Chains A and B, each alone.
Chain A
């Protein structure tokens, strides 16, 4: 298993699928700060807590100039059902087919179980990784404070 991409590395080439079925690629990272929130599976209790916490302070993320996107190897419909069941608005990006290809490119794929590890990657407007975080195991949940710390760092 390769480690998640590190600060200073250029974002890899990748293709994810947006909720409307359109592709989301490296080009979509330009001119904005993006926080990719890799999570193992829709509807797990830990993932639920994670997105509801981030949703609570979504306006603060926007004020800090950051856009959050959830990424998992679930199919789009599952992600949307998950998002709606949580009452959250954070856009979901699917890495379902070819399974995990983008997640592997970011070094966030967990081979033993065939899902994404829990990881965060902040990518700047220059498409370079600003900061990344990877949990020791999928039950380790990064608080919103860690993202705000990273966004505030020069």
Chain B
């Protein structure tokens, strides 16, 4: 039987991409790098310093570069640069062709040859598809869809929704990829926790 029957989003996994203060409310952010609404949501989550777990919701019909961009982010993650790559893609909306992806990888100091081989691998495609199918099983109906504190939020979160989660401040963004990487490592979960 299909894995698409209703199910809550899975608990945090070791391979999830997580950043933000460990003691803050976790926001599970299902998103697509080609989606302008996701870019806005990403900006708001980042600006407020939210603790975020990024998961892919890359719909093939939505944009022909949705899955390739998601796989590229996973390839960057294999070199410890998921969030830096994620920030770079959202800051450069609409430029998602291969040369743009290579340029981002190069600017972040990644091994571009390895990045390019990794992003085409079946394992990363399967990872992206896993996240997407789990989003649909959880009832996601649009990009982005956020889950936090037992609440599902379709679309871009507004200040009120973020404030209810305790995110009403403005924090400084990491200025360098190293700084972002350090923050990412600090935010890794120490134990399993429930998402909703």
Contact = CB atoms under 8 A, between A and B. Distances in A.
Interface of A: 46, 49-53, 55-57, 60, 63-64, 86-88, 141-146, 148-149, 152
A64 B136 contact: no
Contact of B136 (A53, A87, A88, A149): A53
A149 B141 contact: no
B120 interface: no
Interface range on chain B: under 10, 10 to 19, 20 to 34, or 35 or more? 20 to 34
A146 B4 contact: no
Residue among A51, A53, A57 with most chain B CB within 10 A: A53
B133 interface: yes
B130 to A, nearest CB: 13
B138 interface: yes
21 contacts: A49-B143, A53-B136, A53-B141, A55-B60, A55-B61, A56-B61, A57-B4, A57-B133, A57-B136, A63-B2, A87-B60, A87-B64, A141-B142, A141-B154, A143-B6, A143-B140, A145-B5, A145-B136, A148-B6, A149-B6, A152-B5
Contact of B4 (A51, A55, A60, A142): A60
A127 B62 CA distance: 33
A101 B132 CA distance: 37
A142 B141 contact: yes
Nearest to A49: B142
Given A49-B141, A52-B62, A55-B61, A143 B136 contact: yes
Nearest to A55: B61
A152 B5 CA distance: 8
B4 A52 contact: no
B171 interface: no
Contact of A144 (B4, B64, B142): B4
7 smallest A-B Cβ distances: which pairs? A143-B139, A141-B141, A52-B61, A87-B61, A145-B6, A148-B4, A55-B61
Residue among A50, A57, A63, A146 with most chain B CB within 10 A: A57
B162 interface: no
B26 interface: no
Contacts of A56: 59-61, 132, 136
Contacts of A63: 2
Contacts of A144: 4, 136
A60 B4 CA distance: 8
Residue among B2, B62, B143 with most chain A CB within 10 A: B2
B1 interface: yes
Interface in B4-34: 4-7
Contacts of B60: 55-56, 87
Contacts of A50: 141
Contacts of A46: 142
B164 to A, nearest CB: 21
Nearest to B143: A49
Nearest to A140: B141
A64 B141 contact: no
